[in-house]
Amino acid sequence: MDGRFLAAPSMSDQIFLVCMVFYQIEKKSTYQQIFKELTSIAALKNKLFQPERVDSDFEIGLISAVAAEFPQAIHQSFYFHYNQCLNRRIQSLGLSTTYAEDDEIRSCRRKLMSLCPLPLQDVENQFYNLQASLDSRLKQELRQLFLYFRKHWIIDVPLQMWNFHDTLHRTSNISFHSRLNRHIEPSYSNIWSFINCLIGGECRFQHLYSQINASTQQLPKANAADTMQKRIEI
């Protein structure tokens, strides 16, 4: 589950890609309404909309809605979004120049990134060990970054959501959204060109799905995903 801003036609601010949902207000109640509508549609087809697993970004309203509507579901996010959040926080704290020039700060950022594949029970201790290992200069320069990390990633966001130690699968979520944005010109997009783009994408994925079911083709795994999986397994 993820929302897209750039590809949305002018009548909406964002697209929510479970099915294609157009909406304007990002908050818990909006997502809950979407889930209730999907549940009702499934019931009309004599089906049960009760996902066992949900993959999404780290939007707080969405996290709360999934927890409320699907409490038994495993909810995880993406390594890409985790790193993106760290990079944005580094920029918002005015650390971009220091980060580019200071090897020790870059090393600290990489160590925060590397908390994801650790065993879940070790993540919190290793975070505090990293913080304690810094010299006084780095502690001062990175104080706000560590305060943010503790508040957001240790307290607010469930550790299970951004820990990938036991995760064996990878999604093509990011590449799908990148392809969608490339195929739609955001400034000139209208609902009809958007629908045509979705139809084309659906045909492509139906073709891939048929190939996989017929065992005629195995989808290639990206080198980056393969490298990350090997690191996790070590």
pLDDT digits (tens, 9 = 90+) for 167-209: 765 565 666 666 666 766 655 567 777 777 777 777 777 777 6
Last residue of a domain, one of 13, 41, 76: 76
Q: Is 145 found in the same domain as 119? A: yes
Q: Is 148 found in the same domain as 111? A: yes
* Residue 12, domain member (yes or no): no
Q: What domain range includes position 146?
A: 79-161
* Residue 10, domain member (yes or no): no
* Residue 190, domain member (yes or no): no
* Residue 192, domain member (yes or no): no
Q: Is 61 found in the same domain as 126? A: no
Per-residue model confidence (pLDDT) at position 104: 93
How many domains does the chain divide into? 2
Q: Is 106 found in the same domain as 148? A: yes
* Residue 146, domain member (yes or no): yes
Q: Is 153 found in the same domain as 93? A: yes
Tens of pLDDT along 37-74? 999 998 998 988 888 888 888 888 899 999 999 999 99
Lowest pLDDT segment from 19-23, 86-90, 125-129: 19-23
* Residue 93, domain member (yes or no): yes
> 210: alpha, beta or left, given left = phi > 0 and alpha = psi -120 to 50?
alpha
d(CA 143, CA 123): 19
- Is the pLDDT confidence value at 115 over 90? yes
Q: Is 51 found in the same domain as 87? A: no
Q: Is 156 found in the same domain as 83? A: yes
Residue 83 corresponds to which amino acid? N
Q: Is 146 found in the same domain as 88? A: yes
Last residue of a domain, one of 161, 192, 210: 161
Question: Residue 88 — pLDDT band, cuts 50, 70, 90?
Answer: very high
Q: Is 156 found in the same domain as 118? A: yes
* Residue 185, domain member (yes or no): no
* H or E segment to which residue 216 belongs: none
* Residue 60, domain member (yes or no): yes
Last residue of a domain, one of 119, 142, 161: 161
Instruction: Write the DSSP assignment of 148-197 as a string of letters.
Output: HHIIIIIIIS-HHHH--TT------HHHHHHHHHHHS-TTT--HHHHHHH
d(CA 138, CA 143): 8
Alpha carbon 21 to its chain's center: 18
